Amino acid sequence: MKTDDLIDALARDSETPRTGLAPRLAFALIVGLLLATGLLLAFFGMRPDIGAARMMVMMKAGFAALGAGVVLPLLLQLAKPGRAPGWRIAAIGGFVLLCAGVVAAALLGGDPSERFELWMGGAFPWCVVIIPLLATPTAALLGWLVRDLAPTRLTMTGAALGAVSGGIGAMAYAMYCPVDSAAFVATWYAVAIALCAVIGAVAGQKLLRW
């Protein structure tokens, strides 16, 4: 059987709903978040004023969840053999534009002398290091799930998987992050998620091969 024929056969098979896919996906995302939270508590802890700052923490976690949610349809589409991304790429572009708009509005609306601090959070944005680490459990669980679905666009699938995992990792990181600036969150959380996507794209070429 030729490779194209095999892909067509797998694609036809993927039209049949796979029993247990939704529960397995929910398991991967929920357990991944719980494990990321456990890693956060074990190595970093929560911000000391989390009670008073709970609304900002929830908003940052919501932003991270939005980032993961925007990419999730793309991941599920690419997990099926021979499928093109379609409109799902445009949804991600919309999220990027949203981030850019939030950053611009936050910086232009702030005191010019404080714009750099609002953007950088007053120090190195450690979220670009910590979020990919916290994303690892979700990435491993999603990799176990997606590989079983026989994806054929491994690089793009790996990137989508990494971005979703990065969003989950960022949700956990929000409980530790001491910076509440919208410009900081919309910039550096998005950069961290994008970095997870890059890592996923590289790793996916080997780890998602079936």
pLDDT in tens, 43-94: 999 999 999 999 999 999 999 999 999 999 999 999 988 888 888 899 999 9
Could you give the CA distance from residue 157 to residue 72 in angstroms, rounded to a whole number?
11
Are 172 and 40 a contacting pair, CB within 8 Å? Answer: yes
* 12-32 average pLDDT score: 76
pTM for the full predicted model: 0.89
Residue 189's contacts (CB-CB under 8 Å, 6 or more residues apart) are 60, 63, 64, 67, 127, 131, 170, 173
pLDDT in tens, 100-127: 999 999 999 888 999 999 999 989 999 9
Could you give the CA distance from residue 168 to residue 142 in angstroms, rounded to a whole number?
11
**Nearest C-alpha neighbor of 135 from the set 55, 45, 198, 93:** 198
Instruction: Report domain extents, the chain.
Output: 53-207
